[in-house]
Amino acid sequence: MQPDKRVTSGITNLDIILKDGFIPKRNYLIKGKPGTGKTILGLHFLDRKNQKDVDALFISFEESEKQVRSNGSNLGFDTDNIEFLDLSPKSQFFKESKNYSIFSSEEVEQDPINDRIKRAIEDIKPERIFIDSISQFRFLTNDEYQFHKQVLSLMRYLKEEDTTALFSSEASQDNADDDLQFLSDGIVLLEKEEKRRHIEVQKFRGSDFHSGKHSMKITDNGIKIFPVFLSKNTERKSLGNKLSSGIPEIDQLLKGGIESSTTTLISGPSGVGKTTLAIQFMKAAAGRGETSIIYAFDENEQTIVKRCSSINIPIDKMIQKGSLSIHQIEPLQYTPEEFFHTVKKEVNEKNAEIVMIDSLSGYKLSLSKKRDISKMMHILNRSLNRMGISTILTNEIHELTGDFKISDIDISYLADTIIFLRYLEIKGQIRKALGILKNRLSNFERNLREFEITKYGIKVGEPLNKLRGILQGTPEFIEKEE
């Protein structure tokens, strides 16, 4: 027997989280505090654009039909093809001062409401229903047992009518929705914390799903979700190809260059030349006809172009030819998950071979205090590597000299290659040194070399064999080699 075709949620990435959508003819709880987007999610589910020729019914206990249609139209939903059963309180209730002095409100209102719901379903025969909100049933029953019985009866009735139903709930301290969670076939939680929104599937009876919290935004076109998880494919593409820097001395240090489809970390203090060195690899890539993308968190495009042009790196021509794109990223513009999707989309659109993130400290600012930069960068880097993309990360350390350190962030384990730049003081002059600390997939030269940025470009000198104490930033000359 073939399983029933899944029912789309109306949101592509939510369907991905649910592994193809909702299971048909079941009931799902959409829970969250006011303002988290429950009604908008319901409109996505009912919108005719997502599945043509499917009748949909919106049952509203709170907002009026006019208000829901108006709000939905402003977000681009096709509400004209959604049937409504408006059970929200009318203004006449207040004007006429209706109250029930002999009978309780549940005794007077429950049966008529049940009859209206039943009649609407029998007349419309909807394949999809959204009830906003099921919590109102609690006020139409005498006690928790009656509420439990009423909701369970409704759910069974909807299944008998071959309907897939979503119903929202607004749990509070006084009215918990634990009972609804047990009764439903699935639970989707919407959360809003400060300026961040998340969506999480907490239960999905009869199917696997992608667990965890996923970033979410409410835009002018409804809900956008940015799920982040690694694919099951663990193999990297194009391993074994060396990417030259275009500078013989650097390639000699790396025994040919950095490996393709890997991650390279360039670390050093402020102003030492990390970004310039990274762009040098992109200059060489442009000469091979390859495309690169820079995501700049610390500097704007004009500053990068001006600085590179002054040292014989024709970055403006690279941009004009389409071999390089620079995207200036405000640290709080994206969530880490949204940034992940933005990078993957642009890499595919531009068919890029190299991606640079400049810098990790700027990227860290885009994370809330509770998030782990190592985890998010791990997912981004491994995804890019599996796509055949070579990733270059720049990382700033605060110490100019002193004890040697690669990163203030626990991120170095991600790097296949680590290049470090270091300030030196030699005979009263500030100089720079370059070295390779790690090259996971091939051998590398252990010597340190002097590194200099001139108006003609990057210049790398001979190995600094006659100096010791370089990593401490206090080198001393050795008169005779030991």
Reported as a single tens digit per residue, the pLDDT across 240-284 is 689 999 999 999 999 999 999 999 999 998 899 999 999 999 999
Per the DSSP assignment, residues forming a β-bridge with 224 are: 217
- 37 and 75 in a single domain? The answer is yes
CA terminus-to-terminus distance, the chain: 80
- End-of-domain residue from the set 199, 226, 253: 226
Q: Is residue 231 part of a domain?
A: no
Question: Which backbone phi and psi does 51 adopt, to 5 degrees?
Answer: -160, 105
- 198 and 253 in a single domain? The answer is no
What pLDDT score was predicted for residue 401?
A: 58
The whole-angstrom distance between residue 461's C-alpha and the CA centroid of its chain comes to: 42
- 272 and 177 in a single domain? The answer is no
Closest C-alpha to 421, from 282, 309, 239, 280: 280
Name the one residue in this structure whose structure tokens are 């040292």.
311
Residue type, 441: L
- 158 and 268 in a single domain? The answer is no
What pLDDT score was predicted for residue 103?
A: 39
Owning domain of residue 359: 242-477
- 149 and 253 in a single domain? The answer is no
Q: Is residue 235 part of a domain?
A: no
What pLDDT score was predicted for residue 14?
A: 97
- 213 and 262 in a single domain? The answer is no
- Specify whether the CB–CB gap between 204 and 168 falls below 8 A: no
* Alpha-carbon dihedral sign for residues 34, 92, 137, 160: negative
Q: Give the CATH number, domain containing residue 59.
A: 3.40.50.300
Q: Reading across the β-sheet that carries 429-439, which strands appear in turn? A: 324-328, 292-296, 354-358, 390-396, 263-268, 417-426, 429-439, 449-454, 457-463
Q: Count the neighbouring beta carbons within 10 Å of the beta carbon of residue 335.
A: 24
What pLDDT score was predicted for residue 113?
A: 83
- 57 and 199 in a single domain? The answer is yes
Q: Is residue 271 part of a domain?
A: yes
Name the one residue in this structure whose structure tokens are 């303002």.
35
What pLDDT score was predicted for residue 447?
A: 85
- Specify whether the CB–CB gap between 396 and 272 falls below 8 A: no
Name the one residue in this structure whose structure tokens are 């909702």.
22
Q: Is residue 233 part of a domain?
A: no
pLDDT in tens, 362-401: 888 766 555 667 788 888 988 998 889 999 999 988 766 5
Predicted structure pTM score: 0.81
What pLDDT score was predicted for residue 133?
A: 83
- End-of-domain residue from the set 202, 226, 250: 226
- 219 and 289 in a single domain? The answer is no
- End-of-domain residue from the set 226, 254, 284: 226
- 192 and 157 in a single domain? The answer is yes
Provide the token pair at 191.
């959360």
- 247 and 359 in a single domain? The answer is yes
What pLDDT score was predicted for residue 39?
A: 95
Mean pLDDT by runs of 10 across the 482 residues of the chain is 76 95 95 92 88 84 92 91 87 54 46 86 94 79 75 89 91 64 90 88 94 92 89 57 94 93 92 95 96 94 94 94 93 83 93 93 70 80 90 84 61 87 81 89 88 94 76 60 50
What pLDDT score was predicted for residue 173?
A: 58
- 19 and 164 in a single domain? The answer is yes
Distance CA 373, CA 397 (A): 16
Q: Is residue 482 part of a domain?
A: no
pLDDT in tens, 228-240: 876 665 455 555 6
What pLDDT score was predicted for residue 207?
A: 93
How many separate domains does the chain show?
Answer: 2
